[in-house]
Amino acid sequence: MASGLDNYFGVHEQALRLRSQRTELLASNLANADTPGYKAKDIDFEGALRSAMSSGGGQAPVLKTTSSGHIGDITGSSLDAWVKYRVPHQPALDGNTVESHIEQAAFAKNAVEYQATLQFLGGKSKSLIQAIKGSE
């Protein structure tokens, strides 16, 4: 069940987490631009955010282990279902599908959206603190 703060901050907490994970994925693509056979990946951001909001937080389910011999959840994230391979416009002869200009543009756009989400959350936090302290 969502708390009052979850309702106050809304979708932005989950969006910030997803944008952070997308930043790591895009950076990995750029780092492997010259790796033969590397397949560029990206996140279906809208689908992942919709799923996170409908599941109440976007956390992966925690598996119960009833014996010390059981192996716990090794995925660590429910994001895996939303990671997709990028279809290249011009694939390289070595099988690498990273197109640096597309990855750089996606990275820059994601960074701007991440910063906008941070600023929005900062403004909401300041408003909340001001409401708690009372107007001066």
Looking at residue 28, what is its pLDDT? 95
SS (H, E, C) the chain: CCCHHHHHHCCHHHHHHHHHHHHHHHHHHHHCCCCCCCCCEEECHHHHHHHHHHCCCCCCCCCCCCCCCCCCCCCCCHHHHHEEECCCCCCCCCCCCCCHHHHHHHHHHHHHHHHHHHHHHHHHHHHHHHHHHCCC
Q: What share of the chain has pLDDT > 70, as a percent?
A: 73
Query: Which one is predicted more confidently, 45 or 103?
Result: 103
What range does the domain containing 106 cover? 4-133
At 45, the pLDDT band (50, 70, 90 cuts) reads confident
User: What domain count does the chain have?
Assistant: 1
Looking at residue 36, what is its pLDDT? 95
Looking at residue 61, what is its pLDDT? 42
